[in-house]
Each structure stands twice: as C-alpha cells, then as structure tokens.
Structure 1
Amino acid sequence: MDSPVKIPYESFIKIDRKSETPIYLQISNQLVNAIQRGYLPFGTKLPGTRAFSSILEVHRNTAVAVFDELSAQGWIESFPNKGTFVIGKDQEKPLQVKSFEQNYLQNYPTKPGFQFKISNILDNPFEHSDCEFIFNDGAPDIRLTQIVQHSRFYSSILKRKAHQKSLGHYNQDGSEFFKEHLSRYLNLSRGLPISKNNLLITRSTEMSIYIVSEILLEAGDTVMVGDLSYFSVNMIFQKSGVHIITLPIDEEGIIVESVREACQKKKIRMLYLTPHHHYPTTVALSAQRRLELLELANEYGFIILEDDYDYEFHYDKSPILPLASADTNGMVIYIGSFGKSLAPGFRTGFIVAPESLMAEMRKYLGIIDRQGDILMERALGEMIADGEINRYLKKSLKVYQERRDHFALLLQEKLGERIAFQKPSGGLAIWLEWNIPINLMQLSRDCIKDNLFIPKTLLYQNKGLTAMRLGFGDLNFEEMEKSIEIFSKNVKVLTS
C-alpha cells in the first residue's frame, strides 16, 4: 500500500471553521466518505496523529479525536508498533488508492445508477420570481395575520404537561378536540349537519383530493370538470389514469344540461366542482343548478366532489350553502380549507364524508401523514372555541373588501374598454377577459422587465378566450397602484 504521506488528504478534506459542526466530526465524516467511495480502501495505512494534524493544520488533540471517532464507528484499527489502518473486507488483490480529483468527494451524484419513471403530468406548474411586485391567483395577505396572537395559542398548548404526552406518539386520526369544534363551526357557518366522525383532517386541499382519488377513482373512470378548472386537481386526476370530460361554464357556473348529456352518453364516476367561486372564473353556481346537480347525481349515480377552497371570503351577501348541506343520499364529498385567512402554518384542509367512507380514508391518511400535527389542531380548536377565528375573519374581510373595490376601480380606470370583468361577491381574485387581441405570454415577459411578475398559471388563452385571473388579496393600495401602473403601461405598448 502507498505510503500514508503520499495521500493528498488536504485535497478532499475541507474544514469550515465557521460551521456549528465540530472540526473533528467534519474531518471524520469526510474520511468515512472517502473510505466508502474506495479512495481509502482496505488496508490503507493512515498517518500518525502528529503527521495528520500537520497535514490538515489542526491541533493534535483534534486529530486524536478524529481517530477515536473512526475507531468507535469501526472504520479503522490501530496496531502497536505498526500503525493505524482502514478496516474492511480483505481483497484477493491489493487495492490501489484511486486518483483524487479536486473536490470530487464534495459532490453528490447528479443521477442515480438505476432506471426510474418520469412523470410529465406532475411537472411543477408554479413559477417564482424576485420581482418587487407579483400577481397571484388569490392568496391572502400574511401581513394581516395576527401571528403573535396565534402563536400564543400554540405556545400555551405546548407548555401544558397534559399535551406534551401527545408528542410521544403518532396520531393519524388528528385532534378529537379540533374535529369536534370544527364540525360545530361547519354546522353553523356552512349548514353541514355533521359530527366529528364525518371529518378527516389533512394538510391541504390537494392532499384531500389525492386521498379521495386513491379511494374512489380507478384507471379508465370518467371525471367531469369545468372547461376551465384548477390545474393542480386536474394533474391529480390525470395521475389516477382517469378520462377527463370538460364542461362549459357560464355566468351561473357549470351548465347542468351538459352534465346530463355527458351522463346519457357514458358512465360518469365523478363531477368535480368549485361552486362557491368557480376556479378560475370566480362565478358562483346558482342555487337552482345546485339542486339540479344533486338530482342528476342521484339519478345517474356519480359522485360530486365539492371543493369550497375559499368559502371564508364573501363580502356583499351571505354565500349560498354548499351542495353537501342539502345532500341526503350520500352523493357529495365536501372538501375545504380552514384558516386560510391565517398564517400558512395555521392552515389545514379537511374532508367531510359519510362515516363508512371516512374509515377507509383514514387508512390512506395513515400512510401519507401518520404523524399529523395534533398540537396545531388543538390550537385551531381553541381559536374556534374562544371566538378568535370569527373575530379575526370579520376584521380581515373588511380589509379584503376594500382591496377588491380599489383593485376593480384601478383596472377600470387604467384599462377601460380593453377589458371586461365582474366584481366578485367573494374570494380574493378577479377574472378579467380581454376585448382586444393581445399575447398574454408576451405581456408577462414585458412586465417582468418592469419588476412585475405574472405567472403563466394566471394566463388563459386559446382560440376563443383571452383571460387572466388576478389576485388582489395580498396587495395593499400602494402595491396595487404601482402594479397596475406597470401592467397597464405594458398593455398599451404591446397593443399600440
């Protein structure tokens, strides 16, 4: 074996003296890495601690600690009057030390050594930008959230000894306390006659739909969605291998006659709806159409998956109650989000369904989210019980309504007859259609140059439609005015 002093240890052992990791551990970890990759094969003789500390310019006690660590882990062994050697499987032929490339051991493999499936369906559609101003599809403003007050609930719960026990075990069923209070909250606010046994707590709307799809959909099933629909949900359905039928939308939501026609042609497994404010157009499904859809579901036996992603945000009048509130035959699965107006860490998703189906859903939740977040759920339950949720929501709704009105006014003033839109009765976004020819992708690229980012997921353009979904919730008045000034300037330049 080569003499230990010939091995260029300093070329592959890099010490970060500002790191919180002790230097001896940094060195020992990198030596283990070298042994595992064959750079220091079985039988390699290591230099003595004095020589080793000199090579790496560290204190001898550090070198001693490195050797002690490697010995404790079983990588090296010292022999009196002989030296310290790398331990490993003996070879028929002695292994030669590989040549060392600068920083090679610092690099992780760029690709695996095996084949794997690549999904184009699940490519991330979301974009990010460092622009100062950003339009989104209707996100709330985290600056309006009372993070300190909300954190106090969580901190208080964490300090209670009775709740500390819950940290020591998994709880895929979630907090019974939260489910009990959430079921009452949904009963009062959305007319859902449910108990805690009808609730499954999830991390998000997307997780809820994934669980529903895994249980209720099989490859080859047919699912109906709006002609314009939420792209993330469509991705989940496509991953399930189902056939998707798109249905036309008008100012009252899904056209019911198109649902009937689809059912007459083939067996339909599910209809996905966002009836409170259709995504992306923001129109509300009329009360009459809701009743007609329930009748069709009973007649043809298809599931209605009702997604109330922003039920909390309504301004001008009380919202129409969910289809699930009028469902007496168990044809509707209701999913939603709770605490969307709160800081992101305090939000959660949920599914409402009959108890027998809920039992099956819990099995799937136990696989993908066995641990859950029982302390956060307890905090949310206490915020409901204390009335904090209602107080905060009432306060924030006033701000969002003012922002909606100001945003609509600015759009009308700056773009006038170039656009058409209806001021939504709720939600945090405006659906804007163009009355003039315009390339939306080019508009987005031009706006970026002026520090305004418009993600491609907000753009809807085909042969018969040119439209955008613009969120206003997370923009204050000054940000709105600057954003729309940039927006309108680029529109006029592009269409002049």
Structure 2
Amino acid sequence: MMQVLPTLLSVEKSGRLPVYLQVANQLMTLIRNGTLQPGYRLLSTRQLALMLKVHRRTVVQAYDELLAQGWLESHTGNGTFVAKNLPEIQPSEPKVNGQRVAANLKSAGFQFDVPEYLNRPVLKAGTRLHLDDGFPDPRLAPLEDLSRAYRSQLLNGNPYVRLGYGDTKGSLWLRQELSAYLNETRGLKTTSENILIVRGVIMGIHLTTAGLIKPGDYVAVDSPGWFGANMNFVHAGAKVVEVPVDEYGMDVDALEKICMKQPIRLLYVTSHHHYPTTVALRADRRINLMKLAEKYGFIVFEDDYDYDFHYLSKPLLPLAGADPTGMVLYCGSFTKTISPALRVGYLVGAEDVISYLARFRRIVDRQGDQMLENALAELFKTGVLQRHLRKSVRVYKQRRDTFCELMKTHLNDYVNFQVPDGGMAVWTRFDPAIDLKALAAKALQKDLYFSDGSASNLPPALAGGVRLGFASSNQSELEESVEIMTALI
C-alpha cells in the first residue's frame, strides 16, 4: 500500500482548489471507502512530497487538516496514522439497487415516490421568438431606476438593520406603499397589517393551502384552470372539485349546487382575466359568488395575476373590494408588472389570518429580499412604477391589436379566438385537424416557442386551446412569429 498510495493521489497545481486540500480530500476519500484502514501508517511528509513532486509544507498542511478533523492521529517519533477509533470499512464499490453508482451521483441511495401531479414541464426562456403564456416584456421595465433604488438600499442607512433580519410579513415600507396603491386602484380598504409580502402568487397559494387546508377538505377550482394552483391543493390532500367556466366566467349556479352537496373549504378563482381563457367574471356572478361565500363559509382565494393590464375600460374591481366580512384572500405579484425573475408578490386579507400566515411562512422562508422590497417601495413612492404601468398598458394594447389582426389576416381559417379585453395573451382554439404538438415542435425548430397544449389539462370540449402571449414581443417579432406559424400550417 505504501508504494501504491502515491498512484491513488494526483494533484493539479493550476486548479482552483489549493494543492494541500486536494491531497487532504483524496486521503479522506480513501479512508471513507475503506482503502486506508484504521491504524494504517501513512508515508512521512517528506516521502509523500517527493512522490507527488510538491513542497513538503504542502503535505504537512494536508496532514494537519486531517488531524484537526479527526481522520488522522500522530504519534511523536513514530509517524502519522489513520485514526484507530474510526469504524473498519470493507473496500467496495457503492451500489444502488444493485447498480454501480457513477462518480457523479444520479440516483439516490434511498427510495422515494414522485407524485404524478409534479410531472409538469417547467417553462423556461430560451427561444428568440415566443408566443408565451402571457409574460411581460422586460425591455420595457424601469431597470435603471430599479438598479439605482436597489444600490441605494445596499449602501445607505444602518447596515445592521438594512442587512439583518426583518419582519416576516415583509418590508413595512413596501406594505405601506402597496396598501395605498391597492386602496386607490382596486377599491380595497387595507393597512400595512393586511398585507403579507410573498415571492409570487404560487407562494401565496402554497401558504394558504398549507396553513388553512386539511387533508380531506373540499377545494373548488375553475375548469379549465391553472394547474399550478391545483398542484398545491392535491399536495395538501384536498379533494378538488371543478366548477365549469363559460364566456361569462365561473358558473356560480354550478358552484351553489356543489356547495349543497359537500362543504367547500376554499374556492380558487381568477375573476378578472380567467386563466387560461381570459374571460371576466360577470358582475351578477360576482355578487352571487360573495353571497355564497358568506352563506357557506368558504374562503375565496382571488388570484389577480394581471389586474393592471386591462384595455377596454377601467379594470373590474376585485372581489376583495366588496368583502366586508373578510372571506377573500387577494393575491397578486410584480411578475407581470416587471419580470418573472422579480420574485415579489403580495397576499392581502384580514389582519388575523395574515399574521397567522406570516408565522407559518417562517417554515419555508424566514423572509424575502428586504432590499429588493424596499427598492420597489421607493419606485412606488417616486411614481416610477405607476408611470411604467401606464406606458405598458399603451404598448401592450397596441401589441394585442397587432397580433389579433395578424391572426385574423393569416390564420383565420385555422384558429378561433376572441380579442381579449385585457391580459397579455389570446386564448386561441386551433382547428381540430391540426396536430398542435407537431406544429409546436416544428415551430421550435424555427426558434419560435408556443405551448403545444399538453400542460393545460383541458377538458375534451376545449381540446386544441392554448394561450398565445403577445406582450413580450414587439411588432416585428409578432409578424415573424405569425409568418412561421402560417408557413408551417
């Protein structure tokens, strides 16, 4: 072994890791896998240094590191040994389920199940052209203003407070600015204590589900709906009940019939621009829905993911604005306002439930990015975000009109759609004769992405329906995208 040992060690003098740590880590590995047994006498530092062609002090440092960690023990005048108190390990190749494990682990050594509801593709930016799910154009975002505000938060003020732990509810400044903004634009009646800052709508759903839903509870969702929300309900052990959606939004009469049969704990609804179809919940249904919530005592989780982008008239006020009894949890985010990479959202509700969910949030995330939250608060205070929203609404309306006209001109024989009153995507139904998966795959080869419909979990009656996002593309990109689709069809 004394002669073989140097062949088991190798050093890379130009590597990032110091040579002494390379030697120490390799010796540690040989001890762990049983190649070097407890009590084995190592080469002297001088001998090993000569064989590895390194300075003796390098080997001394390596031995000292392992001595400090308890892998080795030294006997003055007798040498350095593998610690005798280590358990004896038989040299063997590690295996998992009878299969040899590669140097880079790909399979865990323990068993675990992957629930079917987690098998959902993750959408990632990558193609030059994209008719996505309805995302904003980050090229319009006030990035310079945000950068200056963030830098200011990094450098100014008391560093212990600025860079330390903050309120679990999120930045007080942002909650105050948001409260004023939501009260003014959405008709809410909030204070900062009614708001919990989260990392996006999906976190708001997760906290609500984990904190307020018990296994066996009934949760009503719109159908078709957002699979991302449904995943949380299924994971919590809830029984998901689907409520049909038509051209006027969720069928509230159908919801009432469901309530008569079983106790609904929570209703998830996208009332303003229904996901995925973009239709708005009609006024009479809004009134009746809130009456049902009070009558049957269920929570209304209102996902208002793109409230600010409405083009026909002023946006419809959310259900939360007509909720005197505190039945609604209202959730939105800056994902659609600025960029999906900006993970800041808000959950609004009664003070007691917000305080509870803030305490519950500590289980998964002690707090958010307080400096980013304060930077956003500054943009609210200075009016930068409000100006950005006004500009974005004008630009996205133009892009909606351009895109719908392009589809009407070039794809009218192959698609069916209604011009949406708001939002960032057009709900589009393709001719059943068109193989949507094949079409999307061919478009991807042309550097154009759009959904193939497989992730939407649509009922058969809505097969061939996809959301085609227009907001993230400028006019020339929209024209090229439609040209590619037309040529492929």
* Superposition TM-score, scaled by structure 2 size: 0.91
Q: How does 1:71-470 map to 2 (within 5 A)?
A: 71-89=67-85, 107-128=103-124, 130-169=126-165, 171-338=167-334, 340-456=336-452, 463-465=460-462, 466-470=464-468
Q: Secondary structure at the match of 1:342?
A: coil
Structure 1 CA distance for aligned equivalents of residues 32 and 481 of structure 2: 54
CA contact (8 A) 1:198 1:352 kept: yes
Among the aligned pairs, what percent are the same residue? Answer: 38
- Once structures 1 and 2 are overlaid, which stretch shifts more, 52-61 or 471-480? 52-61
TM-align CA RMSD: 2.6
Q: Secondary structure at the match of 1:403?
A: helix
Following superposition, the deviation at residue 10 of structure 1 comes to: 4.5
Following superposition, the deviation at residue 57 of structure 1 comes to: 3.9
Q: Secondary structure at the match of 2:118?
A: coil
- Deviation digits for residues 103-153 of structure 1 (CA, Å, limit 9, x no counterpart): x99824433333334322223432457544333201112222232320110
Aligned equivalent of 2:97: none
**Relative to 1, partners in 2 of residues 1:64 and 1:98: Cα closer, same or farther, differing over 3 Å?**
farther
**Relative to 1, partners in 2 of residues 1:459 and 1:120: Cα closer, same or farther, differing over 3 Å?**
closer
- Once structures 1 and 2 are overlaid, which stretch shifts more, 200-209 or 364-373? 364-373
Aligned equivalent of 1:63: 59
2:192 maps to amino acid:
K
Following superposition, the deviation at residue 13 of structure 1 comes to: 4.3
Out of 14, 17, 34, the position equivalent to 2:14 is 17
Structure 2 CA distance for aligned equivalents of residues 444 and 90 of structure 1: 58
Structure 1 CA distance for aligned equivalents of residues 477 and 49 of structure 2: 58
Structure 1 CA distance for aligned equivalents of residues 189 and 76 of structure 2: 79
Structure 1 CA distance for aligned equivalents of residues 119 and 245 of structure 2: 27
**Relative to 1, partners in 2 of residues 1:463 and 1:106: Cα closer, same or farther, differing over 3 Å?**
closer
Structure 1 CA distance for aligned equivalents of residues 84 and 476 of structure 2: 67
Structure 2 CA distance for aligned equivalents of residues 41 and 170 of structure 1: 50
Structure 2 CA distance for aligned equivalents of residues 10 and 402 of structure 1: 69
CA contact (8 A) 2:200 2:335 kept: no
Structure 2 CA distance for aligned equivalents of residues 281 and 366 of structure 1: 35
**Relative to 1, partners in 2 of residues 1:54 and 1:123: Cα closer, same or farther, differing over 3 Å?**
farther
Q: Give the number of equivalent residue pairs.
A: 483
- Once structures 1 and 2 are overlaid, which stretch shifts more, 192-201 or 429-438? 429-438
Following superposition, the deviation at residue 226 of structure 1 comes to: 1.4
Out of 474, 477, 482, the position equivalent to 1:476 is 474
Structure 1 CA distance for aligned equivalents of residues 77 and 401 of structure 2: 86
- Once structures 1 and 2 are overlaid, which stretch shifts more, 195-204 or 449-458? 449-458
CA contact (8 A) 2:128 2:447 kept: yes
Structure 2 CA distance for aligned equivalents of residues 453 and 343 of structure 1: 18
Q: Secondary structure at the match of 2:363?
A: helix
Structure 1 CA distance for aligned equivalents of residues 203 and 102 of structure 2: 36
Stretches of structure 2 lacking an aligned partner (at least 5 in a row): 95-99
Following superposition, the deviation at residue 98 of structure 1 comes to: 6.2
CA contact (8 A) 2:226 2:456 kept: no
**Relative to 1, partners in 2 of residues 1:97 and 1:214: Cα closer, same or farther, differing over 3 Å?**
closer
**Relative to 1, partners in 2 of residues 1:330 and 1:142: Cα closer, same or farther, differing over 3 Å?**
same
Following superposition, the deviation at residue 340 of structure 1 comes to: 3.2
CA contact (8 A) 1:440 1:459 kept: no
Aligned equivalent of 1:52: 48
Stretches of structure 1 lacking an aligned partner (at least 5 in a row): 492-496
- Deviation digits for residues 317-360 of structure 1 (CA, Å, limit 9, x no counterpart): 21010000011122111111136322445441111111121222
Structure 1 CA distance for aligned equivalents of residues 313 and 455 of structure 2: 27
CA contact (8 A) 1:202 1:351 kept: yes
**Relative to 1, partners in 2 of residues 1:459 and 1:227: Cα closer, same or farther, differing over 3 Å?**
closer
Aligned equivalent of 1:494: none
Q: Secondary structure at the match of 1:161?
A: coil
Structure 2 CA distance for aligned equivalents of residues 273 and 205 of structure 1: 13
Following superposition, the deviation at residue 475 of structure 1 comes to: 1.5
2:345 maps to amino acid:
G
CA contact (8 A) 2:224 2:459 kept: no
CA contact (8 A) 2:138 2:339 kept: yes
1:432 maps to amino acid:
T
Structure 2 CA distance for aligned equivalents of residues 80 and 362 of structure 1: 58
